[in-house]
Amino acid sequence: MSYVDEVLDLLVAKNPSQPEFHQAAKEVLESLRVVIEENEEEYRKDALLERLTTPERVILFRVPWVDDKGQVQVNNGFRVQFNSAIGPYKGGLRFHPSVNLGIIKFLGFEQIFKNSLTGLPIGGGKGGSDFDPKGKSDREVMAFCQSFMTELNKHIGADTDVPAGDIGVGGREIGYLFGQYKRIRNLYEGVLTGKGLTYGGSLARTEATGYGLLYFTEEMLKSNGKDIKGATIAVSGAGNVAIYAIQKAQQLGGKPVTCSDSTGWIYDPEGIDVELLKEVKEIKRARLTEYAAKRPSAQYHEGKGVWTVKCDVALPCATQNELDLEDAKTLVANGCYAVAEGANMPTTLEATEYLQANGILFAPGKASNAGGVATSALEMSQNSERLSWSFEEVDQKLKGIMVNIFHNVDDASRKYGMEKNYVAGANIAGFQKVADAMKAQGIV
């Protein structure tokens, strides 16, 4: 049996009930087959793939907090410190009821390669909780964040592990988490990114994932003789990534016509009104029905459906496995020519294969959504030198990083004879730096 197959079998046996982790590992290891086969015996002897797929450390903890009625609530807390070969662990925190160890492991595993692709010195990690911030008062969110950090602070630090936001964790949560870290550790340091601008945050970090997605997409389209200008774009999600993807798409001359949340979706043929969307989602934390109520051109539908809208480019920006084989068939039938992932692993493996087999340009999240974590690393740099760069400076660096990632991914796919397979290109390009660093550091 090939080394890749051995490791995949072992991984499934050793990590039961973690389908998302299996999915992420399968996609990466399948891509790496060509690289591993060049030197299979050495990789096997060093157990490089077993080490790569086993987290360096997994921290599980209880998060007790008191709700507004005086009732004690208990949630699970997680931090997976996956790989520190190329830098301190770096990756977001997700607060969502669906969070479990398998979800955090899939996200932490993806983060290793994504962070490597940025070219910056950051290792891979991820964390979170099954806490649901929806419908909670500010005081409840603060109580939860303080309890979460009361445990997490023991395991993180500006040169050890630097968390940030993800689903359900935005500026409000990062503020409460930072305050509690500082209070307990008596340290004012860049232990979190995505901080507010008055206490060490970076300009353009809020916009970075969505903007970066569009910079990557623009470069990918350009290199394939297409243009974002004039393209009709279907976007899913209505959170941090989706909002700033829509904004940058409009700035580049594209026309995003959809967005969605966990209960329904909007089709707005005149183009999404970003200011209204921000007001509904960032300020009021309300449902998309409020967007439709204020926008005569918008149609609101319950449930799932953005991929049924005819589009040139699709940008899934909500959550994992939100674009399945049926959706992929609909997109192809409707003439869509590019799919770029803003979310982490939003496309199922079957859907990805179908899109690629039908000649759709497909950008995997670990490459196309790397702008968020890249700008987090820029926030770390600014914190270290105790300076703040201008919006334009950060944005220019972000753009340069995304354009570079596209070309590194494209070059890797060509080098291994898989031209335009950006999934393989991203996995191979991300792997190489991490594998070299792991080899150099011995058996640890």
Task: Please give the positions annotated as active site.
Answer: 126
User: Rule CB under 6 A: is residue 156 a binding residue for ligand 2IT?
Assistant: no
Q: Which residue has the tokens 């080899």?
A: 439
Whichever of 84 and 319 has its CB closer to ligand NDP, that residue is 319
Whichever of 150 and 193 has its CB closer to ligand 2IT, that residue is 193
Of 276-295, which residues contact ligand NDP (CB under 6 A)?
Answer: none
Whichever of 88 and 346 has its CB closer to ligand NDP, that residue is 346
User: Rule CB under 6 A: is residue 376 a binding residue for ligand 2IT?
Assistant: yes
Smallest gap from Cβ 35 to ligand 2IT, in A, equals: 24
Among 120, 241, 339, 374, binds ligand NDP (CB under 6 A): 241
Handedness of CA 322, 328, 329, 332 (dihedral sign): positive
User: Rule CB under 6 A: is residue 153 a binding residue for ligand NDP?
Assistant: no
Contact present, 138 and 391 (Cβ < 8 Å): no
User: Rule CB under 6 A: is residue 193 a binding residue for ligand 2IT?
Assistant: yes
Among 125, 165, 200, 201, binds ligand NDP (CB under 6 A): 165
Stretch that binds ligand NDP, among 5-13, 116-124, 148-156, 240-248 (CB under 6 A): 240-248
Of 389-408, which residues contact ligand NDP (CB under 6 A)?
Answer: none
Q: Which residue has the tokens 């890797």?
A: 412
Whichever of 258 and 344 has its CB closer to ligand 2IT, that residue is 344
Strands across the sheet containing 338-340: 255-256, 232-235, 313-315, 338-340, 361-363
CB atoms within 10 A of CB 248: 23
User: Rule CB under 6 A: is residue 318 a binding residue for ligand NDP?
Assistant: yes
Among 90, 195, 255, 399, binds ligand 2IT (CB under 6 A): 90
- Per the document, the length of the chain is 444
User: Rule CB under 6 A: is residue 264 a binding residue for ligand 2IT?
Assistant: no
Residues 294, 297, 298: CA angle, nearest 5 degrees:
70
Start-to-end C-alpha separation, the chain: 26
- Least Cα distance to 281 among 256, 304, 263 occurs for 263
Contact present, 325 and 350 (Cβ < 8 Å): yes
User: Rule CB under 6 A: is residue 125 a binding residue for ligand NDP?
Assistant: no
User: Rule CB under 6 A: is residue 117 a binding residue for ligand NDP?
Assistant: no
CA dist 328 to 139, 332, 356, 360, Å?
Answer: 42, 6, 10, 10
User: Rule CB under 6 A: is residue 96 a binding residue for ligand 2IT?
Assistant: no
Whichever of 230 and 303 has its CB closer to ligand NDP, that residue is 303
Of 405-434, which residues contact ligand NDP (CB under 6 A)?
Answer: none
Q: In a 10 Å sphere around its CB, with 0-12 CB exposed, 13-18 middle and 19+ buried, how is residue 111 labelled? A: buried
Whichever of 43 and 96 has its CB closer to ligand NDP, that residue is 96
Smallest gap from Cβ 344 to ligand 2IT, in A, equals: 5
Among 120, 167, 220, 394, binds ligand NDP (CB under 6 A): 167
CA 398/CA 208 separation, integer angstroms: 7
Smallest gap from Cβ 170 to ligand NDP, in A, equals: 6
Residue 240 interacts with which of ligand 2IT, ligand NDP, none, CB < 5 to 8 Å by class: ligand NDP
User: Rule CB under 6 A: is residue 342 a binding residue for ligand NDP?
Assistant: yes
User: Rule CB under 6 A: is residue 240 a binding residue for ligand NDP?
Assistant: yes
Smallest gap from Cβ 151 to ligand 2IT, in A, equals: 19
| Residue ranges binding ligand NDP (CB under 6 A) | 96, 165-168, 170, 209, 237-242, 261-262, 317-319, 342-344, 369, 372
Residues in the site for ligand 2IT, rule: CB under 6 A?
90-92, 114, 164, 166, 193, 344, 372-373, 376
